[in-house]
Amino acid sequence: MEANERKRKLIMVGNEAIVEAITKSKGRKSLYHFTRERNLPAIAHLDILLSSAQINPDYRGERRLKAEKVIRNGYSMMRNAHLRIPDSMMDPEITQEQFRVCLDQHVFFWPTLKDCQKMISTYKRREPEERFSVLEFDAASLLSSHYSTVKLSKYDSGSSPRFPARCSYKKSLNMFLPLDLFKVVLSNLVPGKASEIKEVLIEEQVLKVSSHLRSVYVENKEDLPKRWSHLGRPLADLQDPSLYKHNDTYYNKESN
């Protein structure tokens, strides 16, 4: 029993060291989840972030050409469309369908504010009539509590590169590095240091969302769930670095 307890403590120390290495930089203290404002009621009520596969278990890898609405537990949820990835970007050992199935089994996070801002700009151009939201999480807390299901990617896995011939990698399941293998697996396909992490993925679902939340950014104040009213901030704050750093005016404070 004592030997097992010592082993458990050593594993915990090792896990903590990996999380600390990833979140040590000032610009990597948060993880950002981009979603649609219409998804917030379901997320807040369930206090869970579900992968696309969890939202619709019947999915078999077909490409979604447009955003899809699914009713789950009485709540409406939207799943994003799949981008068209050129066949030339795919590793010969995996099909497009298999790769999409893998993507849909994960919840995605951006590890830096800059990456999240790019995502906001892209979708605002693509869907100007849609309202979007960003959930900002404490990175260390989220990674530690979901340690065994976290994966890291050196690349934006679901992206469709503009110039695929110039890319130095192929999309495959090997690009997703389990958290406990960070700095263990040495390959050009996976991140070898924190600054190389482009994307963080968590398998299937994120539990107890509220316990890890720092802020909830929305475009429309009325879309902010009541349970998160103390965390609400305008999405514009996230898009403007000066406001993100210095504006402490939350929505609930504005109404007082």
pLDDT of residue 192: 94
Question: Which range, of 37-46, 73-82, 220-229, averages the lowest pLDDT?
Answer: 73-82
| Domain range summary for the chain, segments of one domain joined by + | 29-214
Residues 6+ apart with CB under 8 A from 243: 236, 237
Task: Give the residue among 203, 205, 197, 209 at the shortest CA–CA distance from 19.
Answer: 197
> Would you state the structure tokens that stand for residue 182, as one six-digit string?
């960070």
- In this structure, what is the dihedral angle of CA atoms 234, 206, 154, 180, given to the nearest 10 degrees? 140
Average pLDDT, integer, range 78-83: 82
Amino acid residing at 245: K
As beta bridge partners, residue 109 has 200
Residue 246, pLDDT > 70, answer: no
pLDDT tier at 7 (50, 70, 90 boundaries)?
very low
Measured distance CA(34)–CA(11) in Å, rounded: 32
Average pLDDT, integer, range 51-65: 82
pLDDT of residue 98: 93
SS3 call for 184: coil
Average pLDDT, integer, range 116-138: 93
> Would you state the structure tokens that stand for residue 142, as one six-digit string?
């989220």
